[in-house]
Structure 1
């Protein structure tokens, strides 16, 4: 089992870190979401050199993580997540920074052990790290020197990001090289996934981004819920969801900014499904407690299942209130009846209606036929694309409705290769998580 020992002095060190990090509060305003590490030059901030008072933050298998290392990683998290550092959010930054540093230290210790035993090079070289940093800089429309300079202007030493990058690319390369060639995705697995996708296609589907705070990593459900609440507040204040997901989410989708793509009813845990059923596109959920942590979900879009019939329509209408006289209704009907023959389809409806005084035209958009009001539903079911209805009376007026198109809802069928690649990635991610769990359980970690 992992042996964790807590040493007195944490409160004093946390107070020092709070004072240090609050001095860097302008950093969050510069964070963006478009790249894994998005940096823009902020107002001048004093660089954080190693002359600050240092002590031991943690010991991982006899290797020290200093409070300087911890403060630097916290600065990097702030600069790349867009979350505003406050006295309330700093404990979360500190916790996430320390967990990340411990995991990276375990990874590098394991890789160097394997290098020695197997006489192979596994840890990324300086040239490989430079190449990765150049890619990050390009995503930020900078040269590598400009990118490193922008970090330095925010008090972040270049080695802070370099060591994070070194650990990440080394570990991913090892896992893929060691286990990737051994993974075999069978045809039975692919066929089963295809059947599951076909069954799910008839259900409502949700395009979501997700964050999950792992209770086991952050010290329990109370800490996870508190951290999730703080992240929701920060996202509502403008912190970019993708940047927050990359830095705080424990899910594999963190690498893509939390983007989980389209999911169907039943593909997410029941608590998340219940929240999605109540949300509208563009909404951010409140924290959602689940078995192992707390979810935050952003619903980007929503669509009906593949079995649903969708119709797109336009209308030309004369406004009439419910109490309009028979003469007023008759006059409006005559006006629309004279207009109707001049409309040859959706493409001509608006131009034709514009020539008739008192007639207003508009696009009704796309909707499920079953969700339409009864008079419009009858027209949608009976008309072919390009046809125009008889005048329809509603409490708002008299309407001509043109059907522009009809289609079955649902996405295109997922290909064989797409399913195979998805299953391959899922299995590789599971192997990596299990490997890390075993390393933590066998490690000696002292947190001070």
Structure 2
């Protein structure tokens, strides 16, 4: 049972904690971590208090203060009277989640007799990458973090992230199967919407269930938007506050098109210009903030792969001859189950010529062929089409967006895979929270 005692109206340690944090390091410019900041003084006696208890494991107010400093130092969000409660809440939620994750990972390690939790060397590799991103050596970077009093908190955050990702992907990744029908459905939707614009976006997603409800998520998102408008880097905010799987890459969601984001987000994007930051966008399970980096028009062309079965027929053929040829092709069409079998079924049929017409842009096809190619789904067969050369039955064997908007099956499969893995991870954490005894003070 999840027992939660919380006094949301008060800050932990009240004004004393607020003063400690406001006096600590301010938010950075575009770099991940502020390069200069006064060394914090550890508050005397702060470790004597419990900010939360997670299944009998104590999270101290000192731990909470250090995590708040870390959020401020790495997100660029400036602490104010208006947002200090949100910073504290996010810091406490992240510490509670990490405690639950480490408890679960230690349980799994005991039961299954293998190591999951990331080692110090694993964490050092992550820190080295962050140091390189800030144009520093590892020694310079860790020295700066140590001076700011956030090194240990960052190390534990990185250890939790790496360990949990390793466990989720190891346990569930090999079991996930993205079916051809799922990929085909996405391709079909993209083909149908190919003429619509596409957007290159970065995203922050606030999970309403994680932060305590939709009202809390909306208020928090509003404060983050205000901070980003005042200069907090989007990437840094996304890394520390977003619950989306793109958080690890600074919220970079790449190019998205129709059907890839919730309808409320797509509607907002339609009204935005490149370089614009959205207001909070409420969806069914949380709140999005999106930054529109670029947009492009829909595909200039739709590419289609065609095969045909044809009966040569002169332009002056009688109506009876056309009718007989049409009946022959329709009967033959009923025996063809797919593009792959078309040529073998047609082989040997009296007078019928069958073959692969290759791939072409739909707008480059003859008008009669173009209408069939536009209206048919992949795997579809046309009615007999009359031309000066004869009668033709077309088979649409593939469609894709042309030009820069083309998306491969591999890209779609990868995106669907990580979407499903992220959903599994969120459900796993929800179950751990529901089963835990969590007291916040």
Residue 93 of structure 1: how far off its partner (Å): 0.7
Alpha carbons 1:4, 1:444 under 8 Å: kept? yes
Distance 2:198 2:114 in 1: 47
Distance 2:258 2:417 in 1: 23
Residue of structure 2 aligned with 1:67, choices 51, 61, 65: 61
Partner of 2:262: 269
Are 1:189 and 2:187 counterparts? Answer: no
Distance 2:415 2:11 in 1: 45
Partner of 1:3: 3
Residue 90 of structure 1: how far off its partner (Å): 1.0
Are 1:89 and 2:83 counterparts? Answer: yes
Partner of 1:127: 121
Deviations 1:137-175 (A, max 9, x none): 22222222211111122232x321111111111111111
Partner of 2:424: 431
Alpha carbons 1:47, 1:152 under 8 Å: kept? no
Residue 200 of structure 1: how far off its partner (Å): 2.9
Are 1:259 and 2:252 counterparts? Answer: yes
Are 1:442 and 2:441 counterparts? Answer: no
Partner of 2:109: 115
Residue 198 of structure 1: how far off its partner (Å): 2.1
Partner of 1:397: none
Residue 49 of structure 1: how far off its partner (Å): 6.1
Distance 1:434 1:166 in 2: 21
1:178 is paired with a residue whose SS is helix
Residue 270 of structure 1: how far off its partner (Å): 2.8
Alpha carbons 2:71, 2:91 under 8 Å: kept? yes
Partner of 1:280: 273
Unaligned runs of 5+ in 2: 303-400
Residue 265 of structure 1: how far off its partner (Å): 3.6
For residues 266 and 417 of structure 1, do their structure 2 counterparts lie closer, same or farther at Cα, with a shift above 3 Å needed?
A: closer
Alpha carbons 2:40, 2:148 under 8 Å: kept? yes
Residue 205 of structure 1: how far off its partner (Å): 1.6
Distance 2:423 2:46 in 1: 40
Partner of 2:286: 293
For residues 205 and 77 of structure 1, do their structure 2 counterparts lie closer, same or farther at Cα, with a shift above 3 Å needed?
A: same
Are 1:153 and 2:165 counterparts? Answer: no
Partner of 1:217: 210
Bigger mean CA deviation after superposition, 275-284 or 191-200: 191-200
For residues 271 and 180 of structure 1, do their structure 2 counterparts lie closer, same or farther at Cα, with a shift above 3 Å needed?
A: closer
Deviations 1:31-56 (A, max 9, x none): 435xxxx2242143334366546410
1:35-46 equivalence runs, <5 A: 38-46=32-40
- TM-score, length-normalised on structure 2? 0.73
Alpha carbons 1:185, 1:424 under 8 Å: kept? yes
For residues 270 and 196 of structure 1, do their structure 2 counterparts lie closer, same or farther at Cα, with a shift above 3 Å needed?
A: closer
Residue 292 of structure 1: how far off its partner (Å): 2.4
Are 1:57 and 2:51 counterparts? Answer: yes
Distance 2:132 2:159 in 1: 18
Alpha carbons 2:51, 2:59 under 8 Å: kept? yes
Partner of 2:313: none
Cα RMSD, aligned residues only: 2.3
Are 1:306 and 2:307 counterparts? Answer: no
For residues 288 and 188 of structure 1, do their structure 2 counterparts lie closer, same or farther at Cα, with a shift above 3 Å needed?
A: closer
Partner of 2:93: 99
- TM-score, length-normalised on structure 1? 0.71
Distance 1:427 1:70 in 2: 32
Are 1:144 and 2:138 counterparts? Answer: yes
Residue 268 of structure 1: how far off its partner (Å): 2.6
Are 1:418 and 2:411 counterparts? Answer: yes
How many positions carry a matched residue from both structures? Answer: 343
Alpha carbons 1:41, 1:153 under 8 Å: kept? no
Alpha carbons 1:124, 1:170 under 8 Å: kept? yes
Distance 2:123 2:154 in 1: 10
Are 1:226 and 2:219 counterparts? Answer: yes
Distance 1:297 1:84 in 2: 20
Partner of 2:238: 245
Residue 10 of structure 1: how far off its partner (Å): 4.5
Partner of 2:338: none
Residue of structure 1 aligned with 2:30, choices 10, 15, 32: 32
Deviations 1:399-438 (A, max 9, x none): xxxxxxxxx9863422222222222222221221111111
Alpha carbons 2:195, 2:299 under 8 Å: kept? yes
For residues 91 and 434 of structure 1, do their structure 2 counterparts lie closer, same or farther at Cα, with a shift above 3 Å needed?
A: same
Alpha carbons 1:31, 1:80 under 8 Å: kept? no
Distance 1:296 1:139 in 2: 25
